[in-house]
Structure 1
Amino acid sequence: MHDDVRAQAPEVIPAPSLEVAGCGEVPSVLDALIRTVLSGATTFENADKMIKGLTKKFGVLTEGIGEGSIDWNNVRTSPIEDLVGAIRCGGLGNAKAKSIKGILDMVYQENIERREAYLREKQTGEQADVFAAADKTKGQKDLEILKTDKNILSLDHIHGLPADEAMRQFTKYPGVGVKTSACVILFCLQRPCFAVDTHVNKFSKWLGWAPEKATEDDVFSHLEVRCPDHLKYGLHQLFIRHGQTCEKCRRSTAEGTDSWRKLEECPLESLLNRYDKRQSKAKPKPPKKAKGEKPEAEPDVKKEEQEDGADTTGAKNGPAEDGMEAGDQVEEGSEAKEDDDIKKEGEA
C-alpha cells in the first residue's frame, strides 16, 4: 500500500534544505537537533515557515565546513527578539526561541572547552579530559579546533556514539526530550532507534505492543528493546504514512462516519484493536427539540484532522516531524501558554 516509503535509511544523508524543516535527516548534528525542536508541536507547513524565516534573518554558511547549514552562531549572538520574530510564524515563538538560545549557548561553551582541552593535549601529550576524546582521531580533534576557530557551532563529536549514550547527551539540552532525541539518532546519526511520534504511538497500542495507557516515552522504552533494529526506520515511516492516509486509521475518522465507509478494509484490519475509535466518537444526530428551542451545538469530528497533517514523511523531502498530540497544534502567530507547552519535551 505504501511501497514508496523507505524501509531503510538512505546511504547518504541529503544536504540540508532551506525550505523544508524535516526532522533531523541532515548531515550536521546541531542542525538536525534544532530542526527537530522547531518541528515539535506544530504542522510541517509551520515548521517549514520557521526554517525560511531563520534563513532569511540569519543567513547560511556558504562555504567550507558546515556549508549549507543555517549560521547558528549568528543566531546565538543575536538578540532573542530577532529569533522570536524569525520563527513566530510557526507558533510557540517565545518558548522555542528560549530553548534554541539555551542549546546554542551550551554548545558554544562546550566547543570552547573541547578546543582548549585539545590544544592542551597537543602541548602536554596528555589525553584531553573532555567527553569521548579517547575515541577521536587526531584529525577529528583538529577539525573540532578548526570549527571553533571559525565560529562554527558543532555537535558532530556525537557522531559514532551508541544510541543510549547519544540519548543522554541530547536530553541534557533545554527543550529536548526523548522524542526529539530519538528522531535525531534515527535520521541524522543513522542509528537504529524506535522514534515514537503520534502515529507510531497509536499503532503500537492498537497492535497490542504497548499498554493502552502507556505514555509515548513508555512506548519508546519498551519497543526500543523489543523491536528489531532493522525494522525501526521503516516502521516509523510506514506508521506515519498509514496513519495519515488510511481512512480507518486517521484520527479524524470513527466508526459510522462517511470517511470511515470510504475504505472497505484496512490492510491491518485483522491485527488492530482501535479501542479509542468506537461508535461513540462518531458524529451523532442532534436530538429533536421542541418548537422554538435552539438545538445544541453538534460535536465536531474534524477537530482531530489537524493532527493527521502534523507528522509527515518522504513527501516533504524528509522524515516525520516530531509528533504532536491532538490539541498541541498552535495556529500561526499564537503565543498562548508557550512557557508551559515547551516544558513537555524537557520534562520528558
Structure 2
Amino acid sequence: PKQEEGGCGSRHLVLDALVGTILSQNTTDVQSHRSFAALKQAFPTWEMVRTSPPAAIEAVIKSCGLAETKTARVQAILQLLHDERGECSLEHLREASDEAVKRVLGSYKGVGAKTISCVLMFCLKRFDFPVDTHVWKIALALNWVPKAATRDQTYEHLNAKVPDEIKYALHVLLVKHGK
C-alpha cells in the first residue's frame, strides 16, 4: 500500500478514515479530499464537528455533494461515540476482529459494506476487498459474479475469492481501470 496524498491510505486515525470515506460517497476523489481537508481545517477536532451547528459543517463540505445528508450522518456517529465512549474516537477498533469492526461500523446509518471495507483495508491494513461502482461494474463485465449480483453480493463473493495477498493491489488496479 502506498501513502497517497490525501487518499484513504493517508488517514491514520480510524475516525478520519471513516469520515473521509463517507465524504467520498457519490462524488469524485478530488471533491471528497478537498471537503475532508476543509472540514479538518475549519473544525480541528471531531468534538467541534459534533457540537457545531449542521449548517456550518454543510457549508464547509458542500463541494462533495449531499452535504446535508453527510453532515447528519457524521454528527450522528460522533454523538453515538460521545454517548457510548465519552470521546469522538474509533481507535479502539484497531484491536478488534474484522467481524467486530464490521458490526460496529455497520451499525451506523449510511455506513455500508464498501465504506467498512475501505476502513478495514486502507486504515486498519486488514485483508479486505472493497467493491465500489468501478470494481462492481468490472466484476459484472468479466462474469466474476452473476449478472444480477448487487454490490454487496459482489463484495461478499470477491472478498471470499480474491487471495489476501493481492486484495489491495487488485482493488487499486480495478478502480484505476474503471475510472
Check whether TM > 0.5: yes
Q: Residue 50 of structure 1 aligns with which residue?
A: 35
Q: Secondary structure at the match of 2:63?
A: helix
Q: d(CA) in 1 for partners of 2:64 and 2:70? A: 10
Q: Residue 82 of structure 2 aligns with which residue?
A: 108
CA contact (8 A) 1:36 1:183 kept: yes
* Percentage of identical aligned residues: 38
Give the alignment's TM-score, normalised by structure 2.
0.92
**1:89 deviation in Å?**
2.2
Q: How many residues align?
A: 179
Which one has the bigger helix percentage?
A: 2
Q: d(CA) in 2 for partners of 1:58 and 1:166? A: 26
Aligned counterparts, 1:200-215, within 5 A: 200-215=135-150
CA contact (8 A) 2:20 2:33 kept: no
CA contact (8 A) 1:23 1:39 kept: no
Give the alignment's TM-score, normalised by structure 1.
0.49
Structure 2: 5+ residue stretches without partners: none
Q: Residue 85 of structure 1 aligns with which residue?
A: 59
Aligned counterparts, 1:1-348, within 5 A: 9-10=1-2, 14=3, 20=6, 22-23=7-8, 25-59=10-44, 71-112=45-86, 148=87, 153-244=88-179
Q: d(CA) in 2 for partners of 1:48 and 1:227? A: 28
Amino acid corresponding to residue 206 of structure 1 in structure 2: A
Q: d(CA) in 2 for partners of 1:108 and 1:24? A: 25
**1:24 deviation in Å?**
5.4
**1:172 deviation in Å?**
0.6
Q: d(CA) in 1 for partners of 2:72 and 2:9? A: 20
Amino acid corresponding to residue 144 of structure 2 in structure 1: W
- Provide Cα deviations, 1:292-312, integer angstroms capped at 9, x if missing partner: xxxxxxxxxxxxxxxxxxxxx
Amino acid corresponding to residue 34 of structure 2 in structure 1: K
- When residues 96 and 24 of structure 1 are mapped into structure 2, their CA distance, relative to the original with a 3 A threshold, is farther
**1:96 deviation in Å?**
0.5
Q: Secondary structure at the match of 1:159?
A: helix
Q: d(CA) in 2 for partners of 1:52 and 1:32? A: 12
- When residues 166 and 38 of structure 1 are mapped into structure 2, their CA distance, relative to the original with a 3 A threshold, is same
Q: d(CA) in 2 for partners of 1:24 and 1:98? A: 25
Superposition RMSD in Å: 1.8
Question: Which structure would you say has the larger Rg?
Answer: 1
Relative contact order (C-alpha < 8 Å, sep 6+): which is higher?
A: 1
Amino acid corresponding to residue 203 of structure 1 in structure 2: I
**1:160 deviation in Å?**
3.1
Amino acid corresponding to residue 64 of structure 2 in structure 1: G
Structure 1: 5+ residue stretches without partners: 1-8, 60-70, 113-147, 245-348
